Structure 1
């Protein structure tokens, strides 16, 4: 390739809350099984098929990494994939011609997924993901344990969660990632100091945090820690709060089900049409639309890079970042689009690389102050600190205070399984997912129940210790660890 017009980095953020033993349907464990089969496994196959280095930057939160290594989750996922095959076989007995065609499609997809799962994933996801990183195919991003909204945490607890998350990556992959996906791209001035101390070299923010000047990465003032910002002009072409490619007519409609089988049988057709008026889904038409949209995206990225180079007088950078689950789960044809984009961008003269690769290519601007920000609504903290979740914010503050004071009062030089489980339950209660789900009214009741459950378990463990009931506290901690035990290495003495 001749001199590229600029650099493109795709960053995928792979996250779900801790879900084993926490409900199944309509919310709970099923989310993991759907995300793996529809998205995560398919995206990994796309990345591997490209057979080249520096394909993209892949964020895997410690929670997802733990679930993909959790024996219970893997057993249940195996069963779920097998049931997917059975549902497809049952659908084949239906008389409608378009459902027979769909049954064949789903049977083939389930069979391929089952073969891949049994040959590579069945005994843990860490070897698969670690190989992608060690081969140089992707750059892995880590993050703090349980995905808390860091700006709202006491500094001591924020540093602890980050340390636990990075230690988790070392345990699973043999190294700590150089970069993190800061949960919700949440930032407040001062967090960079904890990143320096933890050895974090780079993290993600949203474009408005740098007033849209996303053509380069920026060291945070006074440090070598580098902030990369999403280019929203390009990112929103795919997926935004209002529009994006997945809404095109030929794509498989996410919201319409054949309830007897659980499969999605129709295409989008029209955004305002009732389900019964939508056309049967045609995989070939969906694939053709994905190819056309890939061409459009490649052209947009190239045009953006040329424009930025003209504006700034040098090769520039575009970072597009999405939840991994967009590709395959929310947007069925997303992995096909992804494969086409990652093949065609280099052909169009665009350097495709990782965040680390972008730094190696010289896309580093001057030091910059980063304001308080997030990638949520308003690009501020309102999703996690707004009126709708004021009670959760107050409860979270109590959980953090109870954890820290209990560790201070009962911590010793010896490791304490009660305090370890107390810290685990506190981090589970402080997950950013619960406030997000309440603010967005997405399974809000489930979110409130999960947050309250873990907060209550923090209180119960602490109360037993303060009452002098050490043996009862140890028994309860052991029982909770069976259900809520993602991080065996978590050591409350780090607090």
Structure 2
């Protein structure tokens, strides 16, 4: 008989980046990298656990932009080419390091890894949604949704129709993708404001995730803190992030990913190799970039890039097993203590960005694999659960009003509203107002119908919190600025054309081909509620 529950929650999200109008856009490689380093490795972990009879339970959000991109033929074809270049490069690397034992070992390791990625990619006919749906159908994976384009809800709340559209379009997209309605939602950036739960209830959602302080500062104060969900007055449950388990994994300073044995993210063959040799595998304009082949390990805190030692996957895997055992022991002690203090079974909710596992922390999928196996075989203190199963088994919880919160810097909204990105919000507010206005229109022909639906897509794409986030971090800022401006400008042209009753059909067709997310969207989703 277990004393409590542990719930791993992975948030899988990338912004919608798809440029069929260009031969090469660097930002499309965000998806390629995540497929190779995160999504396919997770599929391998889940397949291995099922094969060995381990009834694992994990909650995973898959956002509408990500599911759309994973099913897109243009991006699938481009991933094929990307992976093919990596396979070619690693074969050259094996030849280049024929007389260097450890370097050849690493080159052969990468060649084998990319070969396994290729096999899995082709086994699922280039559609990884098929793989994840298989684990959803077996009830090992609880897949939840998110905002339609990861819009930041608290900064949209003055336009309820805009928030509702993010929620409703996401639920419709989920049902089209997975053949069923979602039970839960990852609020984008875990950002909550009072009242959004009523829209979640109207959309048929059963629960959402927020940061821990959103629960701790709820009214009345929750008796069990973040170690039990609360029910909002709408009936929708709120789960709060556990700070202790999150920091152990998330932090590169005090958490596991900073271990000396693990692969160094910032040292890459794309920068280390001689220019003429690596030129065919970097950007077409000749600019260097990461290619995904990394030969060095973290080595130690404060060690300079040039002093990094060579990586060894064997010892890194051993360290991941050690860390998984430590994580299991810590959760067991935590559950034992909480059970004694609470007088009931606690649940420890540990949410992370999925891309941490594999992309940023290369050994992360191994860690998840070992943790699931050790939890199954080596302890009886807790059981792993996903959030839908937990609510089915624990239908009675305290009713409270959560506190406004996010999991960003300082826990509220300033990461997405500050001096780097404040300029975008007057534009986002204006196009939301105009979209609500357009939603009252009745189209006179099919062209106007298409224009109204495309206007709705452009608003949703402009609202992506990723653009404000990138502006704040200071990386790839020109791209984030360009994307925000392009969606606002496209919307405004459609608006102006509709107001004068003359839609530019040729231009609209080109925009529909580029921003083709949500093919079945109905612009009336923006009508007053």
Q: TM-score, normalised to structure 2's length?
A: 0.89
Secondary structure of the residue aligned to 1:408 is coil
How far 1:391 sits from its partner (Å)? 0.6
Q: Which deviates more from structure 2 when the two are superposed, residues 317-326 or residues 152-161?
A: 152-161
Contact 1:266 1:281 (C-alpha < 8 Å) held by counterparts: yes
Q: Distance in 2 between matches of 1:486 and 1:26?
A: 18
Q: Distance in 1 between matches of 2:369 and 2:249?
A: 14
Q: Distance in 2 between matches of 1:453 and 1:117?
A: 33
Q: Distance in 2 between matches of 1:148 and 1:58?
A: 19
Contact 1:317 1:363 (C-alpha < 8 Å) held by counterparts: no
Q: Distance in 2 between matches of 1:176 and 1:82?
A: 37
> 308, 318, 326: which is aligned to 1:296?
326
> 55, 59, 78: which is aligned to 2:57?
55
How far 1:40 sits from its partner (Å)? 0.7
Equivalent residue for 2:8? 10
Equivalent residue for 1:140? 143
Q: Distance in 2 between matches of 1:422 and 1:243?
A: 46
Q: Distance in 1 between matches of 2:307 and 2:92?
A: 24
How far 1:178 sits from its partner (Å)? 0.4
How far 1:413 sits from its partner (Å)? 9.9
Q: Distance in 1 between matches of 2:244 and 2:493?
A: 48
> 523, 526, 529: which is aligned to 1:492?
523
Q: Distance in 2 between matches of 1:478 and 1:99?
A: 51
**Aligned pairs (5 A) from 1:117-266:** 117-122=121-126, 124-153=127-156, 154-211=159-216, 213-220=225-232, 222-240=233-251, 242-259=253-270, 260=273, 262=291, 263-266=293-296
How far 1:489 sits from its partner (Å)? 0.8
Q: Distance in 2 between matches of 1:278 and 1:140?
A: 39
Q: Which runs of 4+ in 1 moved over 6 A?
A: 22-26, 412-415
The 1:398–1:271 alpha-carbon spacing in structure 2 relative to 1, beyond 3 Å, is farther
> What whole-Å deviation, never above 9, does each CA across 1:210-239 have from its counterpart, x for those lacking one?
22811101101x221000111011111011
Q: Distance in 2 between matches of 1:475 and 1:288?
A: 58
> What whole-Å deviation, never above 9, does each CA across 1:447-489 have from its counterpart, x for those lacking one?
111111111111121122223322x1x3222111111102111
Q: Distance in 1 between matches of 2:371 and 2:353?
A: 17
Contact 1:290 1:333 (C-alpha < 8 Å) held by counterparts: yes
Equivalent residue for 1:74? 76
> 475, 480, 484: which is aligned to 2:511?
480
Secondary structure of the residue aligned to 2:511 is helix
How far 1:412 sits from its partner (Å)? 6.6
Root-mean-square deviation (Å): 1.9
How far 1:192 sits from its partner (Å)? 0.6
Contact 1:47 1:55 (C-alpha < 8 Å) held by counterparts: no
Secondary structure of the residue aligned to 1:365 is coil
Equivalent residue for 2:432? 400
Q: Distance in 1 between matches of 2:248 and 2:24?
A: 33
Q: TM-score, normalised to structure 1's length?
A: 0.95
Q: Which runs of 5+ in 1 are unaligned?
A: none
Contact 2:187 2:209 (C-alpha < 8 Å) held by counterparts: yes
> 286, 310, 317: which is aligned to 1:287?
317
Q: Distance in 1 between matches of 2:438 and 2:252?
A: 42
Number of corresponding residues: 489
> 389, 392, 396: which is aligned to 1:360?
392
Q: Distance in 2 between matches of 1:179 and 1:285?
A: 38
How far 1:409 sits from its partner (Å)? 4.7
Q: Distance in 2 between matches of 1:164 and 1:427?
A: 9
Matched, 1:391 2:423: yes
> 302, 312, 323: which is aligned to 1:272?
302
